[in-house]
């Protein structure tokens, strides 16, 4: 079997792109934002109809500078109670591998204070218990700080959403090497080359 040099180069470039991750760990980020969400304890929000009001601001009691804060990304994240036994929701300190916060709420330019966003819960949101995390992004598009509406153990101020019943994703078709776009396409190209 002969392998075409261009196909081999393409395959190697996919692995190179996949291995060039920005390798940011949540534990190394400053928790410099104060984040709140409007859901009250015991309230069950309905996907497709209910809204959550999210606010965030820089914590003025910190001595960390926010000079290199450029944008924010607000995300809906699974609480530990909704992650048990679910690899598709698994928490990892490396943000490239973390599956805690798969739902985008909003993004935009960073402002130090007076940030409010009213978010209508999408109809396809799975039934689960959640919290909100807001990441701060720098000019290199890397997370450099964050805040969340819950405590460090993710046990307070949680949001209960009654949505679609979620089945665990069947990822058996893809080898468990990585979670990135490049790895999946590298495997696909390798299968094509073998055939």
Judged against a pLDDT cut of 90, whether residue 123 lies above it is answered with yes
In 10 A of CB 88, how many CB atoms?
A: 14
Residue pair 136/86 in contact (Cβ under 8 Å)? The answer is: no
Judged against a pLDDT cut of 80, whether residue 41 lies above it is answered with no
- The residue count of the chain comes to 195
The mean pLDDT of 93-120, rounded to a whole number, is 96
What's 22-159's CATH class? Answer: mainly beta
End-to-end CA distance of the chain: 10
Edge-to-edge strands, sheet with 115-120 = 33-37, 51-58, 115-120
The confidence score (pLDDT) of residue 195 equals: 59
Residue pair 25/94 in contact (Cβ under 8 Å)? The answer is: yes
The confidence score (pLDDT) of residue 141 equals: 94
How much is the pTM?
A: 0.75
Tens digits of residue pLDDT in 138-178: 999 999 999 999 999 999 999 999 987 655 444 444 444 44
Tens digits of residue pLDDT in 50-105: 999 999 999 999 988 999 999 999 999 999 999 999 999 999 999 999 999 999 99
* Nearest C-alpha neighbor of 136 from the set 15, 10, 24: 24
Tens digits of residue pLDDT in 178-188: 444 454 555 55
E strand residue ranges, the chain = 30-31, 33-37, 44-46, 51-58, 71-78, 103-109, 115-120, 128-137, 143-148, 159-162
The confidence score (pLDDT) of residue 2 equals: 67
The mean pLDDT of 127-133, rounded to a whole number, is 97
The confidence score (pLDDT) of residue 137 equals: 97
- What CA–CA distance (Å, rounded) separates 69 from 81? 32
The confidence score (pLDDT) of residue 156 equals: 93
β-bridge mates for residue 77, sequence order: 131
- What CA–CA distance (Å, rounded) separates 183 from 179? 7
């Amino acid at each position: 079997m002969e392998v075409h040099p261009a196909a081999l180069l393409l395959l190697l470039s996919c692995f190179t792109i996949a291995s060039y991750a920005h390798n940011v760990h949540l534990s190394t980020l400053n928790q410099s934002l104060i984040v709140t969400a409007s859901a009250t304890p015991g309230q069950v929000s309905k996907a497709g109809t209910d809204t959550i009001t999210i606010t965030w601001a820089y914590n003025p009691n910190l001595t960390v500078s926010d000079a290199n804060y450029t944008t924010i990304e607000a995300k809906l994240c699974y609480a530990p109670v909704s992650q048990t036994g679910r690899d598709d929701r698994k928490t990892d300190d490396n943000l490239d591998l973390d599956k805690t916060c798969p739902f985008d709420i909003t993004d935009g330019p960073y402002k130090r204070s007076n940030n409010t966003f009213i978010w209508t819960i999408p109809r396809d949101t799975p039934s689960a218990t959640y919290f909100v995390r807001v990441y701060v992004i720098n000019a290199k598009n890397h997370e450099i700080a964050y805040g969340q509406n819950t405590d460090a153990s993710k046990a307070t101020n949680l949001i209960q959403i009654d949505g679609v019943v979620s089945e665990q994703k069947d990822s058996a078709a893809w080898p468990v090497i990585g979670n990135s776009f490049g790895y999946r396409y590298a495997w696909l190209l390798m299968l094509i080359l073998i055939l």
